[in-house]
Each structure stands twice: as structure tokens, then as C-alpha cells.
A and B are shown apart, each in its own frame.
Chain A
Amino acid sequence: MARRRFSYEGVAVAVPITVPYVRYSTRTAHWFIGQALDALVKTSGIAKSDIDGLCLSSFSLAPDTAVGVTQHLGLSPRWLDHIPTGGASGVMSLRRAARAVQAGDADVVACVAADTNHVDSFRQTLGSFSNFARDATYPYGSGGPNSIFAFITANYMRTYGATREDFGRIAVAQRSNALSNPHAMFKKPLTLDEYMAARPISDPIHLFDCVMPCAGAEAFLVMSQDRARDLGLPHAVIRGAIERHNAFADDPVMVRGGWQVDRDDLYAQAGAQPGDIDFVQTYDDYPVIVMMQFEDLGFCEKGEGSAFVRAHRMTHDGSFPNNTSGGQLSAGQAGAAGGFLGMTEAVRQLTDTAEPRTVPDAQLGLVAGFGMATYDRCLCTGAVILGRPS
């Protein structure tokens, strides 16, 4: 029996920031981090010198690391973390920042994920993404994650009978959500027919199964609830959080993620059941992974993901709101900021600032993370349940 973990009570997640995305930028990651910090300071009213913790996630900082950024932007934190874990970095940053605040190692932690995107950045990132990518995937067609997730999708479809239309429902609902998100890169509606007719990229992955790489940043502040109340900052609270890396390593192809290992722990921390969750922000690098999260986080049984998406409307006003910002599929993937997108959106929903895409009466939201396809699957999984302060 595992030792019972400390709760995350008393910690506030506040000031969700999005630095608007652009397809390509000649700026560096530092510029986007600077913009994010500036917005955190101005929106919160907290002086830059009072930010005493920094947790950073970026793929395009090299040769700098987080500490270089402190000098670049004139910060002097007493707590520093660098989490280059892409799609899982939002959940992982929040967990670490929350513990730092609870322990008194820091009072106000700025969590920032930012990446630039030059015209040739994406191609250059792929071949050097990991040792295994360089040695064992990039030389095979150089499709990047598209071909890896094509295998996972094809295997899932064959094993559980899911169809392209099922994945299309997820993409189409997210596009509908994106239309009321001013930050989303995609501004035009998407129909299921258009989804089905899109050009193939790596069968069965087609164009609208893929995210669009772009430049931008997402950020939020973590502090004690007392501090947030004193400052009058609307905030969400952490009801439970999990992470797991390299789970189910013996599965020859990915059919489930590490969420399945720890989900009972997650719901036990929150004192809630999957049915109590009012909205989810899944990690949507590809629709098949969204469907796996519905299963592995307990919203339906393994293999029933396609029946589940047929039975629900996944728009912000639907029966099962998912990725209410439009997600990466429709808002864009600003590098590591894609791993923060669900977190900032969830805080907006729970602080009543999501305006036209508000989920009615939302009390509990679940944010999942998934990151780092070093070889044949992503290794990092995580999830948090956020709620409203009591």
C-alpha cells in the first residue's frame, strides 16, 4: 500500500495568459517568454521582483536553459525548474510549482511555456528530437510524429473498430469551439465531409488529424490561495494530480497511456468520479490520443471510445465538453505551449473568463497531458483535476 500523499490544498492557479500565436516568427523563444511574463505582471499586479519561482518549458531555447532566461529577463527567483516535456509540461509544471508553494520554497511561481517557430524550425527539431528519433525513426521516411501516430491510429482502428468518422467528430467539435476563441489560428468552420475529404498525410492520418506548428506562449501563476485572495485574483484550485512516465513499456504498440495506472488515485484525491467532471481538456496531438484519454481516464471502457464520441457532443455547450479552446488541432501548437493550452483554458472556465465558449455551471475540470514521442509513443502522461475555491 502506497503511502498516502499530501493533498494539493491551499494552492491557487491564476492569471491564465496566452501570447497570441503566429504561424512563423523571426523572434526567439525568449521574446515570447518575455511577453508572457510581462502579461503575468501586468494582469496580476504582482511586481516582477516578487515572482520568486520560475518553471519553464521550451524546445527552442537552446543553447540557453531556464537559468539563462533569468538573466535575459532580469528575474532573481529562489526556485527554478526547467521542464522540457512538451505536451505533459503543463501538468508537470503545475505539480512542481504547487509543491514549491506548499513547502515555502517559493511564494509566487510563474509557469511559462513558449516556443518560436522559424520557417525551418520544425524540420530541424524532428531529426534531433531524441537519440531514438535520430537512430530509429527519423531515417524511416522522416514523417516525424505523423508516421508514429499513424501506426498507433491504424492499430487502434483495427483492434477496436474505430473509424475515421469517429476521429472526425472530435476534430469537428474542437473546430466549433475554436470559432469562439479569439486566439485560435483556425477561423473557418470544419465539416465532417471536409474532414473526410482532406488529403492523406500518413495513412490513416489525414490533414485535419494534424496540428499546425506555430509560435506563441501560454503561462499562469501558482501561489497560495491566501495570497491570491489578498490580491483579489480569481483562481482555480487543485483537487488532484498525477503523472506517470514510460508506462506499459511492454505493450508492443501503444493502446493505452499511463493515465490508466494512476486514475483511481486521481479521482480519490479529488473525492470525485468521472461523472462529476464538467469538462475535459485532453491532449490532442492526434484524435486517437484524445479517444484513448476518454478511455484511460475512466469516462468509458477501453475500446468504447468510438461509441462514446458518437453518443456525445463535445462542444463547450455539449454533453461532454472537450478542448473548449479548440485545442491544438484548431488553436495551433506553439511548441511546448501546446502542453499548457488545456491548463490556461481550464483556469479560464473555472474563473468565468471563457466568455462565448463558457461551459455552463462548470465546477470541476480535468486537464490531461501527454508528451515526448522519443521513439514509438509518447512517454509522459499526467492529469490534474481543477475546481473552484470553496
Chain B
Amino acid sequence: MTMPLMRPKRKNPVLRTRQMNLPPWARGRVALGITAAAAEGRFELQTCEDCGTVQYPPREACHKCLSPHLHWREQSGEGELLACTTLHHSNDLFFRERLPWRLGLVHLDAGPTLMVHLHGEVGEAPARVRVGARLDRAGQAVLIGFPNEGSAHMADDKMLREMTSDPKFRKVLVTDGKTEVGQAIVRALVKAGADIVWVGHAEPWKKMGGLEDVTALPQVTLVPLDLTNGRSVAELAGEIGGKVDIVINNAEVHRSFGIGSRRGTDVAKAEMDINYFGFLRLAQEFGPALKGRSADGVTGATAWVNLLSIYALSNFPPHGTFSASKAAAHSLAQCLRAEMSPAGIRVINLFPGPIDDEWNQHMPPPKLSPGALANVIVKALRDGVEDVYPGDVAQEWLERWRDNPKVLERELAAGGG
């Protein structure tokens, strides 16, 4: 049983805020294949196409038959814990600050032997365990031995909490509370145990439905935030920047049409001003504050979430300028991820297909409900993943894009959404 995490005491303002010492981040190019899968929540190992051997650590050839035809295949992770140890000494600062630390040696049913971090609910060897891959604070994949049957509070495990970005007891900024998506995110965060949810709203004279409901929740506070206005962003950052643990940037402008159906650039500029420049303003003001608090105890600053679109991967001409703004935001999010990584702040990108809102009125189903999208965000924070493609449409486009981006471009040009 994992003891449920208790609400941390108020921080003593006299004490220095602990800074992040990242766990070892160096990996060889081949080993990054595990990271690529873990970034999407999967545990994959190299499998030989010719003889079927599953091998670990990753190599440049099959160690059985020397074939170079190695592919990454998803693993169930079932295996036997052969031995465990509790470290009382470490040569690395990250672990030294977190001792004692438990490790295991697992013989996977699929063949190889793995060294893993051990979840506290896994007992002494021998024991059956399930190995999964997670991103650690350095953003690199590590393998974790989980109990076959976890208890209700297993997410509160001390080691796991170091890897993930669970919103429980954390303070979150949601940049736009006026949309159905924004309100669903706020409700999901409150349900997940967030301590405070600050909800941005621009243009307060516009009365949109539903805002009263979420602001009635005791954890929720409305804050003025206009991403088109640098001063507005700076003022809010000055007020709450040093307290926010998770930023969820869901603000977006979404209009349909591409190039030829509209004159001028006003609409495209409005999209870029929120979807790209708004994100840039927000990152410049809130990024440094998040980085400074990333090792601040069990509820330290931990993650940044971007609501992008599957159209960021390949332009969808009926929503052409919107696609372009999301592609720009995607590129900027990669830059933000690189700049946040020295502090261990996870940048999570969401690439949904059409959301079931007014701006996708003409899109056929299946469409992603705001509630489902909100649950995906909470799950991504809890699982510590980095890229999420929620919904059937996003999954299908992703598969087509990975198979051949040029073919997808032709299909989309021909109206084949």
C-alpha cells in the first residue's frame, strides 16, 4: 500500500528554494528509441525482425543472429523480480538528495534482464512485476517495476511522483476559462485534487456561459489574462508566477478557411496573435518562474501543457491558416521544451483532432468532447508523457503521417480528411 500524499505544509519563506539537479541525462542515439516511445506512454524494446529476439540494453545489431533489422515493439513488461536493493549512497546529486532509493533487477518474460526503479508497492524478490517506461525529470526514459495489482494511491509513490506531474495538491493556471474546453479542464483539475486553479479570462465584458459554474468551485480563482497583451501577461506573472506549478495554455483562436476564401490577413493575424505570439508572451513571463521552482518539494513546479492540433503536423486546407498557426506553436513548443529541460519542467503537447465545439461545426464525427480532452490532460500529467494525440481522428492522422507524410499531404489536398 502506498500512503496517500498529505497536503504539504506551507513553505517556510525564510528557507532557500531547492534548485533542480537533474538525474543523469546522457543516452546514446540507439537508446533514445526507448525515450521516443515513453514520450507517448509506451514501453518498447528492440526486437529482431529476423529471429524475434527481444534485447536490452539497445544495440546496433541483434546479439543472437547479428541482424541489423531491429524494430521497436511494444512490450507487456511482465516479468520476475530477481533481486532488489535499496541505495543508501549515490554518486549523483539528484539521487543523493532523494535517498534511500529502491532498485530492482527484472527478468522479463520476453527474455532480457532489466535494471529498474522500483515502485514502493513491489515486495521483496522473487515477485511478479510489470515493467513500464516513464520519462524521468531529465526527460529521458527510465524503466520502472510496478506491482501487478496497484493500490488506490499508487500514484503518490515517492519515486513515481519524481517522474510524473500529478496535479494533486498543485497550483495550476488555465489560460482561458471561457471555452467549454477550458471549463472542462478546470473541473477535471479540481477533481484530480489541484490545490488552486487560476482561470484566465480576457475581455470580461463578454459574458460566456458556464464560467459562473466553475468559478463557484472553492479551488478556482478568476484572473484577468489577455494573451494578445504583453502587459496583461506580465502583470499576472508578477502576481502568481512564483506560485504556479503547472501552466495549461488552452487559449486559441480558431477560424475556418485557407488562403483564397478570405481577403487580407486580419483573421490569420488574430490566430497567430493568440496561438503563436500569445504562447510566446506567456512562455517568456511564466517560463523562468517555473524553472526556478522545479525542485521545490513534492508540489514543486512541474509541467507546461500546450493545446495544439493534429493539423500542426500537416496542413488541413479547409482550416489552412489555423493549421499554420498551430504548426508555428508546435515548433515553438519544441524550443520551450529544450529550454525547460535543464530545470526538469515537462512540456506536454496535445495534438487533438477536431474538438466538438462551435468552430468545428462542419466537421463530421467522431469529434473529441471537451470533457474527454480534459481527462486526457490530467492523465498525461499523471503518466508524465510528453506528446498526446487524443481521439480517433488524431490517432489515424498520426498513423498516416508516420507512414508517409507526403501521401498524407496529397490526401488532405484532395479533401481526404
Q: Which residue numbers of A lie inside 8 Å of B, CB to CB?
A: 122-123, 126-128, 131-132, 134-144, 146-148, 150-152, 154-155, 158, 199-205, 249, 252-253, 375-376
Contact = CB atoms under 8 A, between A and B. Distances in A.
Interface stretch (B111-119, B166-174, B279-287, B362-370): B111-119
Nearest to A135: B31
B91 A143 contact: yes
Contacts of A122: 91
Contacts, number: 124
Given A135-B58, A158-B83, A205-B85, A142 B92 contact: yes
B88 A135 contact: no
Contact of B103 (A132, A134, A140, A158): A140
B125 interface: yes
Nearest to B101: A141
A252 B25 CA distance: 26
Contacts of A132: 57
A203 B113 contact: no
Interface string B66-83: 000000000000000011
A57 to B, nearest CB: 23
B105 A151 contact: yes
B115 A136 contact: yes
Chain B contact residues: helix, strand, loop or mixed: loop
B115 A199 contact: no
A252 B82 contact: yes
A84 B103 CA distance: 29
B207 interface: no
B90 A143 contact: yes
Interface of B: 23-28, 30-31, 56-58, 63, 82-92, 94-95, 101, 103, 105, 107, 113-117, 125-126, 136, 138, 140, 142
A201 B89 contact: yes
A127 B24 contact: yes
Residue among B26, B87, B142 having the largest count of chain A Cβ atoms under 10 Å: B87
Nearest to A144: B91
Given A127-B26, A141-B101, A147 B83 contact: no
B54 to A, nearest CB: 13
Q: Which 4 A-B pairs have the closest CB atoms?
A: A142-B92, A150-B85, A135-B31, A136-B57
B107 A252 contact: yes
Contacts of A151: 82-85, 103, 105, 115
B85 A202 contact: yes
A344 B149 CA distance: 55
Nearest to A199: B88
Residue among B83, B86, B94 having the largest count of chain A Cβ atoms under 10 Å: B83
A121 to B, nearest CB: 11
Given A138-B92, A201-B87, 11 more contacts: A123-B91, A131-B57, A132-B57, A143-B85, A143-B89, A151-B103, A155-B82, A155-B105, A200-B88, A203-B86, A375-B57
A128 B27 CA distance: 10
20 contacts: A122-B91, A131-B31, A131-B57, A134-B24, A139-B138, A140-B142, A142-B23, A142-B94, A143-B91, A147-B85, A147-B87, A148-B115, A151-B85, A151-B115, A155-B83, A201-B87, A202-B88, A252-B82, A252-B113, A253-B107
Contacts of A148: 115
Residue among A138, A139, A205, A375 having the largest count of chain B Cβ atoms under 10 Å: A139
Contacts of A141: 87, 90, 92, 95, 101, 103, 117
A144 to B, nearest CB: 6
A100 B261 CA distance: 83
B157 to A, nearest CB: 16
A56 B84 CA distance: 37
A152 B84 CA distance: 9
Contacts of B101: 141
Given A158-B125, A253-B107, A138 B84 contact: no
A146 B84 CA distance: 12
Nearest to B99: A141
A203 to B, nearest CB: 5
A109 to B, nearest CB: 34
B89 A137 contact: no
Given A134-B26, A138-B24, A142-B95, A376 B113 contact: yes
A376 to B, nearest CB: 6
Nearest to B104: A151
A155 B125 contact: yes
Contact of B28 (A127, A131, A146, A152): A131
Contact of A146 (B30, B82, B89): B89
A276 B105 CA distance: 39
Given A123-B91, A203-B86, A147 B57 contact: no
Nearest to A246: B63
A114 B91 CA distance: 23
Contacts of B107: 252-253
